[in-house]
Amino acid sequence: MSLYWSDIVHRLSPYVPGEQPALAHPVKLNTNENPYPPSPAVLAAIRDEVGETGESLRRYPDPTARKLRETVAAYHGLAIEQVFAGNGSDEVLAMAFLALLKHDRPLLFPDITYSFYPTYAKLYDIVYQTVPLADDFTIRIDDYAAPNGGIVFPNPNAPTGHALPLADIEKLVAANPDSVVVIDEAYVDFGAQSAVSLIGRYPNLLVVHTVSKSRSLAGMRVGFAFGDAKLIDALVRVKDSFNSYPLDRVAQAAVTAAYADEAWFRDCRAKVIAGRERLSAGLSALGFDVVPSAANFVFARHESHDAATLSARLREKEIFVRHFKLPRIDQHLRITIGTDAECDTLLAALRELLDGSAA
């Protein structure tokens, strides 16, 4: 606290990201990064952009990220006016909260979901109400029937990994013509149906994507919003009141190249999905109850071992998983799908920990 802080700073509750340990070879299964590298075409595009001398870096990047947006629009069968690009989908979401979700009526989101949503709500002084998930961690769309100033959740949801079918998303969007429904599809590529196909028919639907998970580019910080041109225009107005150049040259070139290598994308995705089924089976065999996941992580609890203790003991072995000290989920661990070797290291460590305290 300081005399110099504004009122806003006093009431913030900043998001706490998963640990990025300063270790040479951690088994890092705590922030849902992709365990496989990006396409070689991405590296080539980065080298091309920078060139021998770095001459291009002297100049500002394209403030509209036109080429990148064109590429991604074509990829999804959208018009460029239906695509917004930002510095990571967290930034895109932050702009959407300010541009589209700040209204008189409360914003609705699940009680168990991405913990950045309440953080943004506090930043912008947006009134919100949480809607409890069912006991099996599913989102019941009928529970969102209350008057609202907007609705937001990830599909698949985080940190549960549970996905809603597209028909449910459409029902929700159709039932709320007076407010914007934001579907955060950070994990959609790993097994859920995307709502991008609904955009032409619903002017109140905003779909948010990221390259951080399925495209192995968390370090590049690029995310997108897809929606009706009027919604995108609102985001552009906020962006241009904040930072004209949120995406640097290297990021624009790298991500444009990533979307051109579909074979690489599919191959990595298939490996992560196979790894998920393998890890889920391994955890079940050790006595974990694993929530069926459509994402690149699993959410699991052990029938007889405390989650915080397990997480701390794994950390001593330089194995990082995510534990949330929150109501309803404080006995769960969220575990990112790593390479098969990383998952095997985790399973071996867990086996040792569980055996060691069996008495």
Ligand X SMILES: *Cc1c(COP(=O)(O)O)cnc(C)c1O
Binding site for ligand X (CB under 6 A): 32, 88-90, 114, 154, 158, 184, 186, 210, 212, 218, 223
Q: How far is the CB of 307 from ligand X (least distance, A)?
A: 19
Task: Compare residues 90 and 282 and give the one whose CB is closer to ligand X.
Answer: 90
Task: Compare residues 184 and 189 and give the one whose CB is closer to ligand X.
Answer: 184
Q: How far is the CB of 53 from ligand X (least distance, A)?
A: 31
Task: Compare residues 221 and 313 and give the one whose CB is closer to ligand X.
Answer: 221
Residue type, 241: S
Pairing of strands 150-154, 181-184: parallel
Q: How far is the CB of 119 from ligand X (least distance, A)?
A: 12
Pairing of strands 333-336, 297-302: antiparallel
Per-residue tokens: 353: 């920990």
Q: How far is the CB of 232 from ligand X (least distance, A)?
A: 17
Task: Compare residues 333 and 350 and give the one whose CB is closer to ligand X.
Answer: 333
Q: How far is the CB of 92 from ligand X (least distance, A)?
A: 7
Task: Compare residues 18 and 287 and give the one whose CB is closer to ligand X.
Answer: 18
Per-residue tokens: 156: 């698949």
HEC readout, the chain: CCCCCCHHHHHCCCCCCCCCCCCCCCEECCCCCCCCCCCHHHHHHHHHHHCCCCHHHHCCCCCCCHHHHHHHHHHHCCCHHHEEEECCHHHHHHHHHHHHCCCCCCEEEECCCCCHHHHHHHHHCCCEEEECCCCCCCCCHHHHCCCCCEEEEECCCCCCCCCCCHHHHHHHHHHCCCCCEEEECCCHHHCCCCHHHHHHHCCCEEEEEECCCCCCCHHHCCEEEEECHHHHHHHHHHHCCCCCCCCCHHHHHHHHHHHHCHHHHHHHHHHHHHHHHHHHHHHHHCCEEEECCCCCEEEEEECCCCHHHHHHHHHHCCEECECCCCCCCCCCEEEECCCHHHHHHHHHHHHHHHHHCCC
Task: Compare residues 110 and 275 and give the one whose CB is closer to ligand X.
Answer: 110
Q: How far is the CB of 297 from ligand X (least distance, A)?
A: 9
Q: How far is the CB of 27 from ligand X (least distance, A)?
A: 19
Q: How far is the CB of 32 from ligand X (least distance, A)?
A: 6
Q: How far is the CB of 66 from ligand X (least distance, A)?
A: 20
Task: Compare residues 90 and 228 and give the one whose CB is closer to ligand X.
Answer: 90
Task: Compare residues 82 and 210 and give the one whose CB is closer to ligand X.
Answer: 210
Task: Compare residues 30 and 311 and give the one whose CB is closer to ligand X.
Answer: 30
